Structure 1
Amino acid sequence: MEKLNRRKEDIDSRLRTEIVEGETKLKAEVQFWLQSVEKIDAEINAINQQVEAVKCFSRAGIGKNVVQKIEEVEKLYRTGEFPDGLILQLPRQTGDVQPTTTLGGETTFTRKMKDIWELLMDDEVRKIGVYGMGGMGKTTLMKHINNRLLEKKEKFDGTIWVTVSKASSIVKLQDAIARRIEFDISNYDDDERASKLHAELSKIKRCVLILDDLWDVYRLDEVGIPEPSPQNGSKLVLTTRLLNVCHGMSCKAIPMERLTDMESLNLFLDTVGRDVLSIQNMKVMVNFFVKECARLPLAIVTIAGSLKGIVNYSNWKTALEDLKASTDGTNEILEKLKFSYDRLNDKNLQDCLVYCALFPEDYAIGRNELIEYLIAEEIVQGRNRQAELERGQAMLNKLVYACLLEDTTGYAGKACVKMHDLIRDMALKITRDSPRLLVEAGTGLKCVPDEENWKEDLVKISLMHNQISNIPSSFESPKCPTLSTLLLNGNYGFRSISNNFFLHIKELSLLDLSETLIENLPESISELVNLTALLLRGCRSLTYVPSLAKLTALKRLDFGGSGIKEVPQGMENLSRLRYLEFYRCEQLKMIPDGILCKLSKLHYLSLNRHDCETKIRGEELVELTKLEELYCKWYDHDRFNAYVRSMADGGPTHYILQVGLVTFRIDPVFLFKEGGKGVIFANSDLRKSVATAGDCSVLLPEDVEKLCIQKCCIDASSLCELITSFKNLTNLRECYMTECDGLEHLFVYSSSIIPLLQRLELLYLKGVRDLRGLIRREKVASTPLPPVTFSSLKTLTVINCDKIKRLFIDTDLLPNLKDILVLDCKQLVEIISAASDHGEQEEEYQDEEAAGGCDHWVISTVILPKLCKLRLELLPKLKSIPVVADLSLREVQIEKCPKLKRVTCLDRDPCPPSLEKVCIDDDLWESLEWNHPSAKDAVESVRREW
């Protein structure tokens, strides 16, 4: 029933936010399902009450009814899958805003944008092709058009942006499109894929499909793309270097043009900085450089980027001579890009840039992922791990600053960098001589390259993100005596390597088999005595790892998310190990005593946490004095407290320490990011700890920044009573409490607690059923709270806290509060209020119904200058929102607040111009009172249905 209700909450939420007019049939079906869930929930509650009433008598008579209800629940759960595709039938917010750079050449680009825009608005033209040589700005131009389409909804409801790249195929193109529309086609046969994709795309109307960097002609029906037509309101736009691709796809072809001389000059100066013109004789020098860039935007930006910060005329003159000498006529633009590579004048920066070429073309490379590689390869080095991470970020920033990489974002907003395909081609061309690389990343390989391709002078091989299934026994050990790096990660069907494969690769230092289905590592791995990094993250089928006793050079060992059941033999010999990852090794139940304490050089240690169990002895962690990052959990409060005490003499600078077993993946504990300082108590009986350990029951590191207490029973009226020296946690920034009983207040008012409260930035409360208020104040504390009390608070979330009546009292200033979310708090009367008698205690407030309302309160208006989002739902007693927002207010959502009469933040003349979205249910909208009728009209213009 709990799973069923979670599904109900999810579908109910999507109904309110995603279904729009025109989906009445689907909406009726889903609402009927939701009502069925509520009905069966009520029936099961009635059965539970009946069972309680009859005790042990006549239970056999109820058993048949119980079995019947279980069957009904299971059937209802299955029908909640909505096999016809609930998610895809719901109209989606189609399209993502693309990160853009400034358009160089306003006249040329503006003209091309106008030409393409006119064709997009022309109903007679359904397919458009933008073509031109690499580096002319085709992708940049289309990113701006994509973003403009998302802003202007008159003709199209959205876009689907798909990067294709050179090493593509029908299957890869289908997968790329399917990912963009969140449709899984991996389980369909090759013959079905096109029809299934066609069916899903046909449900998305009035959309522009953008295929960026297309190299081949594809038949739309073979891919599964519906033919654009006036009936479906969709269009296709592609970018390509080849005119024949435009013709082969029946597109209206639009040629890209080089910049004019003046546009080239302006783009160069905008990139390098116009202050260079203040240097004597520099204007002529700049013109020479611009001429050498051949009016190509990529060449201009890249070469100008390499000259940033150079203020000496003679240095510019030398650079110009180098640029002219770099062109040999074989590939002019690649040679000009190599000039920027040479100008880096830093081998580590150059090696970093070349390393990016090991990833697939057009791949968004996670910054943290890349830096971990660079550390493992010793391209980035520092006195400690934190210094290495900072140096890695600085190195990537320099390459972005030099316009050789571009910043972008990946899944879930992950910070990434991307390499232009021409710059990647340049980097790979450099390595044709030395160091020699074999790079076939993301090219669709189904087997490893033939043995003759494994040359003796190869240094690095990247076969990542292909479809290779194994390295067969017929493939003899390649004779690559200088090979240092082998990347096979992301071959998701890869299962095995022949036992003798590594016999002649003695110098191998980094081996990455992450995200494969490999089951057993070959015995020959035990002979790789120079191996410094063995990466097996996400190898869920992995069950056997040979002895690691000889691999004493290992510095990095990553088993995260693997299927290992026990620690490999010889782990205790890895005395140089600096990085050890066991995160989400669900089958690993114990790390034997005496291993961790011998890994004295560990800087990073991550053990199972959340819903996985791995037993360790906390005493061994105390001996790891060089730890900088620690992520692990305990099952015993005493051992946890002992480790916290040891941190007083110095401990990790970044940590997530957990006590107990986290069970709900959707809770905010999973917002904790590695790199912070957090403590989690989950499914713990803190009452028992209080009884056995007195006032020292719960300890926390004094520098903790994030605290989460989940599903705990608490025998204390406030956190101040529960946690020793809580008032000393002046670095606490985020506080999460979910599904906890027994706690009546978070804090007790005192002068010593104010420094903590004034630094708190996030407060998340969900299901804290006994909570009556945020701060408990004694009668003697008659003075109002200082204005700085919650001066740093940015985000407030309160859900399902039924006993709380008021959140903030006597708080005159919340200068940084941006987001307020309050849901399902049955007794809440006010969010922010000011009492006329500051000496009243919160718990003495009478029920508003019995007391005849809030007449004993003086309701003052509170200004929240940075408030952006306000969401209030299921608050049956809420009477007022005395909040005035400044020009930052963007979204207001209010539903099922029947006693609410006025929304002050909206009732203003003029209405806040920043307002983008208002969702207020119809009944409440009709009953609201307004002082400014013009404000009501203005809000009506941005009001939307739930």
Structure 2
Amino acid sequence: MKKMYKTVINLWDEGDQIREKILVDRPPEIVVNMRAPDIKKFETLQKLLEQILDLLKGNKVKGIRIQRPLGIGKTTIMLNLNNHEQVAKMFDIVIWLKVSKEGSKENLSRNRASAMAIVQRMEIKMEGASNADKVAQRIFKELKAKKYLLLLDDVKEDLNLNEIGIPESNNDCKIVLTTRVIKVTYLSLDEAWKMFQDVLGSPKLIANQKIRKLAWRVCKECSGLPLLIEKVANTFKLKNTEYLWSDGLDSWRMWPEKECQGIREMYKLLKFCYDDLDDDTYKKCFLYGALYPEDSDINTDYLLECWAAEDLLGNDDCATKESIMIGHLILSRLKNVSLLEEGKNDNRVTMHKFIRQVALYISEGEPDCKYLVKTSKALRQPPDEKSWSEKKRISLGDNKLDWLPDSPNCSLLSTLFLQKNLALDMIPALFFEHMKNLRVLDLSDTGIKLLPSSLSILIRLKILYLNNCKHLVELPSDIIELVHLEALDIQGSGVDNIPPHIEKLICLKRLRVSFATKSGNENASQEVHFNYNIISRLSKLEELVIDVKSPEQWSNEVVENIIKEVAALQELKSLKFSFSDKVVDVIEVAPMTLRISVPKATILLSFIESSSWKDVQSISSFEFYIGCQNSEPPQIPDFFRYDKYVKYSNSVGSNSPILRVLAEADGFELVNHKDIKQLSDFGIASMNKVQGCLIESCDEIETIVGAVDSAVLPNLEHLYIKNLPMLESICKGPMQPGSLTKLTTLHLTSCQMMVKIFPSGVIQHLNEIQYLKIEKCQEIEEIIAESDAAGNLNVLPKLKELILLDMKKLSGVCTIESLEWGSLEKVEIFKCPVLLILPFNKDNAAKLETIEAEKQWWEALPCREVKERLKKFCTLSSLSNLKYFIGHRSHSDAALRRWSYKLSKFSSTGSFSPSLLPK
């Protein structure tokens, strides 16, 4: 038997060798590693790679698109993804497919090339078969049972995956191409400098301090674009003297006026994005953006206004609503392909420095874009008069011009930007004589004192910006000759009334004005008259901005008179009022959206009753701010969620105007109310539609909901409670069925009288809660009462996140340690010194992924077995106060991520650097 066994084993081994060599082909490698730059030291790219890996691990995302301009690291991230060790463990096979640019316009050739590349990668023997359908069928057969990752690089448009045999699979297969957008950000300056030095590859080269300084400037000019850094650094590493570096920097800065080695390829790559726009309208709108000074935060409303004036959004017959819609579609497309970036605010965009240079270079070759652009160059003298000739658009903004040519020959000129030339105090009398086709004129932020007589020649002018021209005290009477003027902006100028003659501007659609009382005037209330009776005569007005800058408080009578004037405008779609911080602020009415702020509810009622918005139910979205200061923006998190929003501040009682609008609101913010005892005093029926609610600094509130006979807040999803010193409980008395059944988020902050969060029986109604945060409620000793948990071990079945902060008496979450926490993913505990019992054991929180806490607190916990199991989920910090300050102040998401990253580095290394401190 022993001999027979050895014989069998020997034969088996011989069979393995035969099968390996002759009978069976070895399967293709799971991953074919590719040459890829190391990105571990580049935090921006590495974080994006980790984000993609996290998405690949889950089962919700089947596809990812990495979207950004060419040349900023997308392929580098893909190569590192292909080579990552975790990827090889997650999939049966990883297929890298470079989609040919040449075939991107021809579906047939593109699909055939893609299919054959897959055949080659999977080592499929086709025996000379060339029929596309048969090739696709064979690929489909091979991949159907596999868990694959398909990496598609350089895809210009969506591939028809069915035509090349890629099956839709339920095997957690992934395609890095579409359905989920991850934006690749530009490298930070520090990361760019690291990369620049790495490509130079010679520390000795920049050991010379003068060359090092020049190298730093060259790097800055690369604007954080990885491919551009690589090209430029490779060019400069051949320069070994200060003179050569200085000359190279000059050449680089003069691009595109002077050819610079290595930049031409980058230009071609970015022009690819431009050419891919296809539609000429998109291209022209993009090139128009290059007229604005470098690093400008461009107001999108003004940009769309200029596009429309230049007929880029349709001809003169195009309706305003239609042109706005077209404009926003174009903006969205330009942002999606990253030719424009999001600005500092929602209604701002920017154009990256290098992309702007490309746009200006492209414009030189476009017959419809005869540009003269000299911005931000500290020019004291304008370009010579000859260079103005035959130009269609001229931009000389953000300079130090103190004079202009007398009468330049600009018969083709349609846009003229002269903004931000503070030294420019006079425009020659005949300056506009040869500009009869001018449509857009921006003189904002200049020192001009008068408008020249030749202004009346501009009969085709549609846009006139005079905002912040502080020395301009009047508009000439011959402005009425501008019969096609659609937008007039005199905000911040010295004009202290609405000139009566502008009622002759029969095409005026947008008027933006601001006024202030004259210094030394004792009777300030007289100043506000400023000819506001003209407003109702501007029958075509669609947008109106009135900003009264004064330390005085205007009477309600004056306010109501102005409101009546505004209410008479039948075409009005966008409105902004600001009558002193203390009285009225009616903020922006977007199309079909009403946004109003008033000091008293009676003024709100007056406006609604006298305007075309009498039926609040018919308004698709509104924002009402009653009793608010200008400095009181919405405080409710994710404010954008709510289409119909009411903020009620600094008031007493409740009245019919409030109830009338609150009955339609899905977002409600109650701040600094003086006498209300409970939220239900506003009437239960008035809050049936409320989905998000914030209550703050209401000193008399004792409970949110009193004893009532009907369901309370049936649609409420998010409840935020801050600084209610008399609050004792969420509700009093038994809750009716249907009450608070949709509540997913509950945040309690600084409620010093509250002892119990959930009165007896209430927690049974809150099965949907996912996020629970309790902070600075010093009397609370326990989160869930034992009586509520008895007999029901799954009390908060959907709770994902539990945050407990700064509570000195909190000793436990619940005395019953066997509670189920089936959905809990994150726990955060800081400054709770007597909370020494964890709310879960080693088995009842299977989905827990993160515990954030102080190191000292964690070490003091007695439950060793539980701590050992949960240790891998912990992020512990000795900087508890700093962590607390950073994590729970109103910092931006981006800032929080940066701080969180730095603190985690501190926690892991135990070392501290001054760079961790805020600037």
Partner of 1:459: 392
Give 5+ residue unaligned stretches, structure 2.
1-29, 45-68, 83-185, 201-205, 220-225, 243-262, 519-526, 577-585, 587-596, 881-919
Partner of 1:920: 854
Counterpart CA distance in 2 for 1:742 and 1:938 is: 46
Partner of 1:469: 400
CA deviation after TM superposition for structure 1 residue 926, in Å? 1.7
Change (3 A) 1:119 1:355: closer
Which letter does structure 1 place at the counterpart of 2:867?
P
Of 347, 356, 360 in structure 1, the residue corresponding to residue 289 of structure 2 is 356
Counterpart CA distance in 1 for 2:637 and 2:660 is: 22
1:933 aligns with 2:894: no
Counterpart CA distance in 1 for 2:240 and 2:515 is: 47
Partner-residue secondary structure (3-state), 2:37: helix
**C-alpha contact 1:823 1:875 (8 A) present in aligned 2:** no
Which letter does structure 2 place at the counterpart of 1:737?
I
Counterpart CA distance in 1 for 2:475 and 2:510 is: 19
Partner of 2:729: 773
Please list, as runs of the form range in 1=range in 2, the aligned pairs for 1:9-408 lying within 5 A after superposition.
111-114=35-38, 137=71, 140=74, 208=194, 219=210, 238-241=229-232, 243-248=234-239, 346-359=279-292, 370-380=303-313, 388-399=323-334, 403=337, 405-406=338-339, 408=341
1:508 aligns with 2:418: no
Which letter does structure 2 place at the counterpart of 1:452?
E
Partner-residue secondary structure (3-state), 1:932: helix
Counterpart CA distance in 1 for 2:749 and 2:43 is: 49
Change (3 A) 1:657 1:119: closer
TM-score by length of 2: 0.57
Of 400, 408, 413 in structure 2, the residue corresponding to residue 478 of structure 1 is 408
1:659 aligns with 2:589: no
Counterpart CA distance in 1 for 2:421 and 2:691 is: 40
CA deviation after TM superposition for structure 1 residue 668, in Å? 1.7
Partner-residue secondary structure (3-state), 1:639: helix
Partner of 1:742: 700
Counterpart CA distance in 2 for 1:797 and 1:712 is: 19
Partner-residue secondary structure (3-state), 2:559: coil
Counterpart CA distance in 1 for 2:623 and 2:549 is: 11
Partner-residue secondary structure (3-state), 1:736: strand
Partner of 2:487: 556
Of 809, 813, 822 in structure 1, the residue corresponding to residue 774 of structure 2 is 822
1:789 aligns with 2:740: yes
**C-alpha contact 1:769 1:802 (8 A) present in aligned 2:** yes
Please list, as runs of the form range in 1=range in 2, the aligned pairs for 1:659-808 lying within 5 A after superposition.
659-662=626-629, 668=635, 677-682=644-649, 684-687=650-653, 699-700=660-661, 702-713=663-674, 715-722=675-682, 727-729=685-687, 731-748=689-706, 754=712, 756-758=713-715, 760-777=716-733, 781=734, 783=736, 785-786=737-738, 789=740, 791=742, 793-794=744-745, 796-808=746-758
Counterpart CA distance in 2 for 1:717 and 1:900 is: 32
Q: Which segment is superposed worse, 431-440 or 877-886?
A: 877-886
Q: Which segment is superposed worse, 337-346 or 726-735?
A: 337-346
The count of residues paired between Structure 1 and Structure 2 equals 646
Counterpart CA distance in 1 for 2:742 and 2:513 is: 40
CA deviation after TM superposition for structure 1 residue 659, in Å? 2.9
CA deviation after TM superposition for structure 1 residue 918, in Å? 0.8
Counterpart CA distance in 2 for 1:743 and 1:119 is: 48
Counterpart CA distance in 2 for 1:227 and 1:420 is: 14
Counterpart CA distance in 2 for 1:920 and 1:675 is: 36
CA RMSD, Structure 1 to Structure 2 (Å): 5.6
Counterpart CA distance in 2 for 1:212 and 1:351 is: 39
Partner of 1:889: 825
Please list, as runs of the form range in 1=range in 2, the aligned pairs for 1:541-552 lying within 5 A after superposition.
541=470, 544-547=473-476, 549-552=480-483
Of 507, 520, 528 in structure 2, the residue corresponding to residue 576 of structure 1 is 507
CA deviation after TM superposition for structure 1 residue 510, in Å? 2.0
Partner of 1:267: none
CA deviation after TM superposition for structure 1 residue 113, in Å? 0.9
Change (3 A) 1:941 1:212: closer
CA deviation after TM superposition for structure 1 residue 562, in Å? 6.6
Partner of 1:649: 615
CA deviation after TM superposition for structure 1 residue 557, in Å? 3.6
Which letter does structure 2 place at the counterpart of 1:393?
H
Counterpart CA distance in 1 for 2:492 and 2:797 is: 44
Change (3 A) 1:696 1:634: closer
Partner-residue secondary structure (3-state), 1:594: helix
CA deviation after TM superposition for structure 1 residue 393, in Å? 3.2
Counterpart CA distance in 1 for 2:532 and 2:793 is: 62
**C-alpha contact 2:536 2:568 (8 A) present in aligned 1:** yes
**C-alpha contact 1:213 1:240 (8 A) present in aligned 2:** no
Of 536, 559, 580 in structure 2, the residue corresponding to residue 616 of structure 1 is 559
1:635 aligns with 2:599: yes
Change (3 A) 1:338 1:708: same
Partner-residue secondary structure (3-state), 2:464: strand
Counterpart CA distance in 2 for 1:249 and 1:871 is: 60
Counterpart CA distance in 1 for 2:802 and 2:433 is: 61
Counterpart CA distance in 1 for 2:846 and 2:241 is: 49
Partner of 2:590: none
Counterpart CA distance in 2 for 1:597 and 1:337 is: 49
Partner of 1:597: 536
Counterpart CA distance in 1 for 2:841 and 2:341 is: 36
**C-alpha contact 2:424 2:446 (8 A) present in aligned 1:** yes
**C-alpha contact 1:798 1:821 (8 A) present in aligned 2:** yes
TM-score by length of 1: 0.55
Instruction: Give me the identity figure in percent.
Output: 18
CA deviation after TM superposition for structure 1 residue 640, in Å? 1.1
Change (3 A) 1:589 1:941: same
Partner-residue secondary structure (3-state), 1:700: helix
CA deviation after TM superposition for structure 1 residue 909, in Å? 6.4
Partner of 2:12: none
Partner of 2:912: none
CA deviation after TM superposition for structure 1 residue 673, in Å? 6.5
**C-alpha contact 1:910 1:935 (8 A) present in aligned 2:** no
1:421-462 deviation digits (Å, cap 9, x = unpaired): 579636753554532432536553434641335534322223
Partner-residue secondary structure (3-state), 2:35: helix
Partner-residue secondary structure (3-state), 2:330: helix
CA deviation after TM superposition for structure 1 residue 485, in Å? 1.6
**C-alpha contact 1:139 1:212 (8 A) present in aligned 2:** no
Change (3 A) 1:753 1:339: same
**C-alpha contact 1:543 1:565 (8 A) present in aligned 2:** no
Change (3 A) 1:813 1:702: closer
Partner-residue secondary structure (3-state), 1:686: coil
CA deviation after TM superposition for structure 1 residue 249, in Å? 8.3
Counterpart CA distance in 2 for 1:141 and 1:350 is: 26
**C-alpha contact 2:854 2:876 (8 A) present in aligned 1:** no
Partner-residue secondary structure (3-state), 2:370: strand
**C-alpha contact 1:811 1:834 (8 A) present in aligned 2:** no
Change (3 A) 1:380 1:773: farther
1:525-580 deviation digits (Å, cap 9, x = unpaired): 8634433223456x385663524555453333445677765445544444533334
**C-alpha contact 1:909 1:932 (8 A) present in aligned 2:** no
CA deviation after TM superposition for structure 1 residue 648, in Å? 3.6
Which letter does structure 1 place at the counterpart of 2:645?
G
